[in-house]
Amino acid sequence: MARQFMKGNDAIILGALAAGCRAYYGYPITPASEIAHAAALHFPALEGVFIQAESEVAAINMVYGTAGMGIRTMTASSSPGYSLKQEGLSYIAGAELPAVVVNIVRGGPGLGNIAPEQADYFQMTKGGGHGNYRVVALAPNSAQEMCDLTMLAFDLADKYRNPATIMADGITGQMMEVVDIPEPHPVPYDHSDWCVRGDAATRQNLVSSIYLEPEELEQHNLKLHAKYQKITQDEVRFEEYRTDDAELLIVAYGVVSRIVYSTIDQARAEGLKVGLLRPITIWPFPSEAIRRHSEKVKGILAVELSTGQMIEDVRLAVEGRCPVHFYGRCGGMVPGGKEILEQYRTIMAGGAH
Amino acid sequence: MSKVFEQPHSLYSEFERKTAGSKKTTHYCPGCGHGNVHKMIAEALDDLEIAERSVFVSPVGCSVFGYYYFNSGNFQSAHGRAAAVATGVKRANPDSVVISYQGDGDLAAIGTAETIHAANRGENITVIFINNAIYGMTGGQMAPTTMIGQRSTTTPRGRSEVDHGNPVRVCEMLATLPAPTYIERVGLGNSKQIMKARKAIRKALKIQKEGRGYSFVEILAPCPTGWKMDPPQARDHLLDTMEEIFPLGVYKDISDEREEHSWDRLSSPFEVEKRHEYLQAMKTPLDLEPIELPTDLNCKFAGFGGQGILTLGLFLAQVGMKAGHQVSWFPAYGPEMRGGTANCSVNVSRERIGAPTVEHPNVLVAMNQPSLEMFEKDIVDGGWIFVDSGICTGEPDRERLKVTMIPAAEIADKVGTPKVANVVMLGALCAATEMFPADYVKDTLKVIVKRQELVDMNLKAFDAGWEFVRKDG
């Protein structure tokens, strides 16, 4: 097996190359810049395009242009830069273009800091741009998944003609792990029926998100809505660890799921029946799986690098069937296993908040 | 006899995409300049035989509905972003002919950055800039090109220099850049000007067709509705007033100096085989020779920036990888790396790794006093600690921990350079923990040390650290 020891950020580009991405447009920002460095190195070597754009806004609009040509393309940034891309994401979703956008989340709000956080959950999963649209959001928790989920993101983007995004925290971007080098696969989509390539075959096509007449725009929105429902039905991905007999279910994603994973066996050794459910897709959210658990467990604990964002989706899934607890650190502080274990003990002993 | 007057084929004969009103007329107001310019572009596309591969980008402004009219590939784009979208289009297919058609608000206010940088990159696109000194579509507000004293719905008392600045002269600005090939300002004030405008548009598109680079045509155009004038008045106003602020002429033309280029299309993904070979060549060249570990290693390496702390972590992680185990390396990243102390966490594990951060290490390497003070207390009972005794003044708890005091920097200096103090530490670590045989680690170093001329130095440093522990222990 060909393996490489690499940063999560570099693994994003490994996945992109394997997926047949041909153009990268980006703007430097810590802690996402290694993605642009890798793209600058590798894309031209494979006759692809790399441009360091003048702004995040320009980068996402270059993506709009290339995506409209029916060619796999991407951009990546970190939180403040991702905020700037929201305008473009709304247009890309509105024009139904396939594109991949990566967010290596740092501390906010405002300039915040460059340390890891997950406080972009809302802007990744609920939109942030204008209008009725959704973007697929995948949450890797290892360098291997940075590669694999990037490949998946390209496939989902093409399959649904919609942006697919990666939300990773600064740790998952910056840490190095062993990655199995993926086998590239052919791109099985022909977009001739809608894309504009600057040739006779696609001359009559139009890439646009404007529908001047309210009747038409309503129909367009309903069409998009139906697509999002199908994604919600078919594309939910999650992982479970020791949930079968769990009395306390922990819901955590990204690097937090790794820390929680380390604590589960320890907690079990103390006789605390805890299990982990890790959303791999944060949109669509694994609501149904959480609902099923909520009928059996005594409580659910959401752990996040935020002051409480994903917990809102957990509560919506639970609909009051069991208590939902929260533990979060923010500002770049990352909880240790010890303090998370303490939460289990308190909750299992009847303390709730 | 052939027809002399004919509608250009690059415009639709009926405007099927138009939703309101007649499908035979445009949505533009009487006396507006857009219709003239559309026709001139279409004629040029016909004559240059590039209509089939042309792509028209219409951003927000009165020309947002360019796709009603142009029988070409069409992109509608966000306000101000046309030049960026055009860049994405052109780079994806350099064989296409891309026209970014923008108004003054779009190009010179909200899209200034995109305009300047597309020009500065010398994108092989054609930008058509309609300057009518007003926001037409949104209701006659001040544009970046609105003239001093000109009334608009947002300058009801006239544009004042003090409050709103002066009109922006885009041709003059762009002409200072080395990359653009051709920049001209023309007008639609009378038939002579219109003839010149037609010529300029044709020239700009020809430059693009031949791959000679970025072309930009600014067109002073009347907006009778926005200016609250009738069409003849508007034409007079254009001639009398606008030309004074925006002089017509060629601002730059180096098309003769630019060679012709043609490109292949990029329209299909890389061949799978080619991608496969490229990716396989990236692999870390370490052949697997599994070694069983008596225990997992959860390491913290800490010291000053510049002591090779992060590299020490990388080396150990790669030894662990070669040995067939799960490994992770996580740096405390950011400004602290650049200035004062650096630290990283490394896990070498027989099973799936949970937290990549190391809260309670069983191995600590402290290469300065602050690191010793910060992390010693976190080490698990019975864990290993390696301290540079030449730098640190403190003494670790020998009751609780397996302590190695080693003057790593001094030893490294004797080997040849203090820079390999980190590898001296690696030697000490491997000797004391008895996790990996010396030859095994040295074989790994031979592969992973990037600069081949430094391999020998690193091997010597490793041996020195190893022997220090073995002699001492």
DSSP A111-179: T-EEEE--TTHHHHHS-SSSSS---EEE---SHHHHHHHHHHHHHHHHHHTSEEEEEEEHHHHH-EEEE
B275-280, Cβ contacts within 8 angstroms, sequence gap of 24 or more: B275/A17, B275/A18, B275/A20, B275/A46, B275/A184, B276/A183, B276/A184, B278/A17, B278/A42, B278/A45, B278/A46, B279/A2, B279/A14, B279/A17, B279/A18, B279/A181, B279/A182, B279/A184, B280/A2, B280/A181
Do residues A91 and B108 lie in contact, with contact meaning Cβ atoms separated by under 8 Å? no
Beta carbons of A63 and B88 less than 8 Å apart = yes
The boundaries of the domain holding residue B390 are 297-472
Q: What share of chain B is helix, strand, coil (3-state, %, to 5)?
A: 40, 20, 40
CATH number at residue B431: 3.40.920.10
Q: Which one of B60, B124, B177, B283 would you mutate to disrupt binding with A, by most A Cβ within 10 Å of its Cβ?
A: B283
Beta carbons of B321 and A115 less than 8 Å apart = no
Give me the pLDDT at residue B21, please.
87
DSSP letter, residue B106 = I
Residues B153-196 have pLDDT tens digits of 999 999 999 999 999 999 999 999 999 999 999 999 999 999 99
Residues B101 and B208 grouped into a single domain: yes
Mean pLDDT of B377-395: 96
Is B339 contained in some domain?
yes
Is B292 contained in some domain?
no
Give me the pLDDT at residue B1, please.
46
Q: Kindly report the nearest CA distance between residue A283 and chain B, in angstroms.
A: 24
Mean pLDDT of B83-99: 96
Do residues A53 and A40 lie in contact, with contact meaning Cβ atoms separated by under 8 Å? no
Give me the pLDDT at residue B265, please.
55
Residues B320 and B420 grouped into a single domain: yes
Q: Helix, strand or coil for residue B267?
A: coil
DSSP letter, residue B281 = T
Q: Considering just the CA atoms, what is the radius of gyration of chain A in Å? A: 21
ipTM for the predicted complex comes to 0.96
Considering CB atoms only, which of A73, A186, A203 is closest to B52? A203
Is B90 contained in some domain?
yes
Considering CB atoms only, which of B53, B85, B270 is closest to A61? B85
Q: How far apart are CA A301 and CA B191, in angstroms?
A: 75
Per-residue pLDDT at B4 exceeds 70: no
The CATH number of A238-348 is 3.40.50.920
Q: How far apart are CA B57 and CA B81, in angstroms?
A: 10
Considering CB atoms only, which of B92, B272, B321 is closest to A71? B92
DSSP B161-206: HHHH-PPP-HHHHHTTSSS-SEEEEEE-SSHHHHHHHHHHHHHHHH
Give me the pLDDT at residue B473, please.
56
Residues B240 and B369 grouped into a single domain: no
B239: tokens are: 């001639």
B384: tokens are: 């290993």
Residues B322 and B383 grouped into a single domain: yes
Mean pLDDT of B378-387: 98
Chain-centre distance of CA A176, in angstroms? 19
Considering CB atoms only, which of B75, B78, B326 is closest to A88? B78
Going from the C-alpha of B359 to that of each of A262, A343, B299, B362, the distances in angstroms are 11, 17, 9, 10
Do residues A165 and A124 lie in contact, with contact meaning Cβ atoms separated by under 8 Å? yes
Is B168 contained in some domain?
yes
| Total number of domains constituting chain B | 2
Nearest CA in chain A to B123: A51
Beta carbons of B92 and A175 less than 8 Å apart = no
Beta carbons of B81 and A212 less than 8 Å apart = no
Q: Could you say which of B225, B253, B281 is where a domain stops?
A: B253
The one-digit pLDDT tens for each residue of chain A (353 residues) are: 689 999 999 999 999 999 999 999 999 999 999 999 999 999 999 889 999 999 999 999 999 999 999 999 999 999 999 999 999 999 999 999 999 999 999 999 999 999 999 999 999 999 889 999 999 999 999 999 999 999 999 999 999 999 999 999 999 999 999 999 999 988 889 899 999 999 999 999 999 999 999 999 999 999 999 999 999 999 999 999 999 999 999 999 999 999 999 999 999 999 999 999 999 999 999 999 999 999 999 999 999 999 999 999 999 999 999 999 999 999 999 999 999 999 999 999 986 54
Residues of CATH 3.40.50.920 domain(s) within chain A? 238-348
Q: Kindly report the nearest CA distance between residue A124 and chain B, in angstroms.
A: 21
Give me the pLDDT at residue A352, please.
52
* Tokens 């970025």, residue located: B214
Per-residue pLDDT at B218 exceeds 60: yes
CA-based end-to-end distance of chain A:
48
Give me the pLDDT at residue A351, please.
66
A22: tokens are: 């041909």
Q: Among A317, A199, A339, which residue's Cα sits nearest to residue B51?
A: A199
Q: Kindly report the nearest CA distance between residue A320 and chain B, in angstroms.
A: 31
Beta bridge partners of A246: none
Query: What is the dihedral angle through the alpha carbons of B450, B453, B458, B464, rounded to the nearest 10 degrees?
Result: 180
Mean pLDDT of B323-344: 79
Give me the pLDDT at residue A2, please.
87
Beta carbons of B276 and A183 less than 8 Å apart = yes
Residues B92 and B181 grouped into a single domain: yes
The CATH number of A3-234 is 3.40.50.970
Give me the pLDDT at residue B287, please.
83
Is B114 contained in some domain?
yes
Going from the C-alpha of A141 to that of each of A239, A279, B6, B198, B268, the distances in angstroms are 11, 10, 63, 58, 32
In sequence order, what are the residues at sequence separation of 6 or more whose Cβ sits closer than 8 angstroms to the Cβ of residue B183? Answer: B171, B174, B175, B215, B216, B218, B250, B251, B252, B253
Query: Considering only A66-80, B111-125, B144-158, B339-353, which range has the smallest mean pLDDT?
Result: B339-353
Tell me phi and psi for residue B11, to 5 degrees: -105, 145
Do residues B27 and B64 lie in contact, with contact meaning Cβ atoms separated by under 8 Å? no
Q: Kindly report the nearest CA distance between residue B1 and chain A, in angstroms.
A: 30
Is B318 contained in some domain?
yes
Q: Among A299, A328, A339, A329, which residue's Cα sits nearest to residue A315?
A: A299
Beta carbons of B113 and A55 less than 8 Å apart = yes
Q: Classify burial at B39, counting beta carbons within 10 Å of its beta carbon; exposed 0-12, middle 13-18, buried 19 or more.
A: middle
Considering CB atoms only, which of B87, B276, B318 is closest to A62? B87
Residues B253-303 have pLDDT tens digits of 999 999 988 766 554 556 889 999 999 999 888 888 899 999 999 999 999
Q: Considering just the CA atoms, what is the radius of gyration of chain B in Å? A: 35
Which amino acid, one-letter code, is at A167?
M
Helix (H) or strand (E) holding A249, with range, is: strand A248-251
Q: Could you say which of B253, B287, B319 is where a domain stops?
A: B253
Is B8 contained in some domain?
no
Is B218 contained in some domain?
yes
Per-residue pLDDT at B338 exceeds 70: no
Give me the pLDDT at residue B238, please.
96
* Tokens 């060679």, residue located: B259
Residues of CATH 3.40.50.970 domain(s) within chain A? 3-234
Query: Per-residue b/e over B289-299, b at no fewer than 16 CB within 10 Å?
Result: eeeebeeebbb
Give me the pLDDT at residue B286, please.
86
In sequence order, what are the residues at sequence separation of 6 or more whose Cβ sits closer than 8 angstroms to the Cβ of residue A240? Answer: A275, A276, A277, A278, A289
Q: Among A296, A79, A131, which residue's Cα sits nearest to residue B78?
A: A131
CATH number at residue B201: 3.40.50.970
